[in-house]
Amino acid sequence: MRVAILGVGTVGEQVAKILIQNQKLITARSGKEITPVIGVVKNLNKKRDIGIPLTDDMDAVLKRDDIDVYVELMGGVDYPYRIISEILKRKKAVVTANKALLAYHRYELQNIAQDTPFGFEASVAGGIPIIKTLREGLSANHISSVKGIMNGTSNYILTSMMQGGASFERALKSAQELGYAEADPTFDVGGFDAAHKLLILSSIAYGVYGKPEDILIEGIESITKEDIFFAQDFEYIIKLLAIAKKVDDKVELRVHPALVAKDKMIAKVDGVMNGISVVGDAVGETMFYGPGAGGSATASAVISDLIDIARDVKSPMFGYKIPLELTPLELLAQDEIRTKYYFRLTVDDKMGVLAKITNIMSENNLSIDSFLQKPKLKGDENGVTLFFTTHTSLELDVKRVIEILTKQEFVKEKPFMIRIEG
């Protein structure tokens, strides 16, 4: 089986290396020699230690008749979409790690691919075989929820804020120095990367359509050390979660920081690791943990797809041989989210302020579950900070309360809210 690698960066290099290093084992497991024969790169002058010929002539590689599988590792959306569509139309198999592409065009690609193998295990949670697990391992289940830490950069930052007491800015800087965060970290810390992965998983769990712009995406940029410490007082850990959840006949899809109960397995996923919990009606609660990124972990997933293709093991792309008979599940409107909430609120240290706050809350259907007020420190001129959590509430009510509180004179900073996930 002859493989072309389109885009030879960290992952592509590792795919070629591991195919060569583990060749004996991979041949035994797959029944075929899987050989990387050519790599396509933009810049031929960049030195790469990869052991296969390189070219910058994409068109020539696409036209070759001796390639059985194309591995797309370029990133981006429009260009790879065009390239992959062309390849699939020629009935050549494709393996990709490109989550952005799939977040936008997965159903179009499914239509074009039809019976041509199309692997994308590497697009979600790097080395963790979560696509296969959801699509095949848990196929007997109605999925109640998929909740996960799907972005290693954000998790690294939150972990160092928690363990080292660093501020967001300092933790981000150290992540950048260690190569865990990009110079422009928005894609990771803003929740967009996790959202792309969530959309892919939600197609398998629920068969839902949805693009990044359809779902709630919030990042971790506004989390402070204080939030983390006070959450710990309430027995919670703060994580950036990507959540797909069935609520009656609708599906909630959202990415945001969340307070997670300390004793949940997912709260124990630290550093750059990923962890995804899946709850199914038959299986109950499961959790899958591993490195969510990195050249060789991602290459492990890419090659597992190649081995499946060599073995002629082929599941339906999103796990449905027949489109779901039920009306396709609808996305739940963001205002209809129901969960518990955590608030951080800095107010004037005056008589009656607390009564005013609780009045505003109860008039808008919010009730307080727990409350914490730090003793005011000397020289602390900027008011006192209140921390509290609510009972289960409607997102619409929460938004209204934040809006009303923001306008009050005694409120010194825009109130900050984090959702709580059991």
Residue 74: exposed, middle, or buried by beta-carbon count in 10 A (0-12, 13-18, 19+)?
Answer: buried
Given the residues 17, 92, 197, 239, select the one marked as catalytic. 197
Which residue, 127 or 210, is less far from its own copies as judged by CB?
127
Which residue, 204 or 384, is less far from its own copies as judged by CB?
204
Cα dihedral 178, 180, 181, 182 sign:
positive
- For the chain, first and last CA: distance in Å? 47
Mapping DSSP to helix (H, G, I), strand (E, B) and coil, where does residue 201 land? helix
User: Which H or E run contains 17?
Assistant: helix 10-21
Residue 122 to residue 305: CA distance in whole angstroms: 8
CB of 422 to its own copies, least distance (A): 17
Residue 59 to residue 310: CA distance in whole angstroms: 25
What is the bridge-based pairing of β-strands 368-373 and 384-390? Answer: antiparallel
| The one-letter amino acid at 17 | K
Mapping DSSP to helix (H, G, I), strand (E, B) and coil, where does residue 206 land? helix
Residue 1 to residue 226: CA distance in whole angstroms: 55
Which residue, 81 or 206, is less far from its own copies as judged by CB?
206
Give strand pairing partners of 370.
389
Tokens of 165: 């007491």
**Out of 127, 191, 219, 257, which residue is the one contacting its own copies (CB under 8 A)?**
127
80 near its own copies, rule: CB under 8 A: no
**Out of 57, 108, 235, 285, which residue is the one contacting its own copies (CB under 8 A)?**
285
Residue 151 to residue 164: CA distance in whole angstroms: 20
CB of 53 to its own copies, least distance (A): 22
**Out of 146, 175, 307, 332, which residue is the one contacting its own copies (CB under 8 A)?**
307
Please confirm, yes or no, whether 197 is among the known catalytic residues.
yes
CB of 294 to its own copies, least distance (A): 7
Which residue, 148 or 191, is less far from its own copies as judged by CB?
148
**Out of 2, 10, 20, 27, which residue is the one contacting its own copies (CB under 8 A)?**
27
Choose one: 5-13, 51-59, 139-147, 408-416; the region binding its own copies (CB under 8 A). Answer: 139-147
Give strand pairing partners of 318.
none
Choose one: 28-36, 77-85, 180-188, 365-373; the region binding its own copies (CB under 8 A). Answer: 28-36
Say whether 412 counts as a known binding-site residue.
no
Residue 269: exposed, middle, or buried by beta-carbon count in 10 A (0-12, 13-18, 19+)?
Answer: buried
CB of 269 to its own copies, least distance (A): 8
Q: Mutual orientation of helices 10-21 and 295-311 as an angle, nearest 10°?
A: 60
**Out of 36, 119, 219, 294, which residue is the one contacting its own copies (CB under 8 A)?**
294
Cα dihedral 324, 326, 332, 336 sign:
negative
203 near its own copies, rule: CB under 8 A: no
Which residue, 106 or 132, is less far from its own copies as judged by CB?
132
Say whether 381 counts as a known binding-site residue.
no
Interaction pattern, residues 52-71, with its own copies; x per rule: CB under 8 A: --------------------
Residue 225 to residue 195: CA distance in whole angstroms: 25
Q: Which of residues 310-349 bind its own copies (CB under 8 A)?
A: 311, 313-316, 319-326
Which residue, 84 or 267, is less far from its own copies as judged by CB?
267
Q: Residue positions in the annotated binding site for NADPH?
A: 99
Q: Residue positions in the annotated binding site for L-homoserine?
A: 182
List of residues contacting its own copies (CB under 8 A): 14, 18, 22, 24-32, 121, 127-129, 132-133, 136-142, 265, 268-269, 280-291, 294, 296-297, 299-304, 307-308, 311, 313-316, 319-326
Residues taking part in catalysis: 197
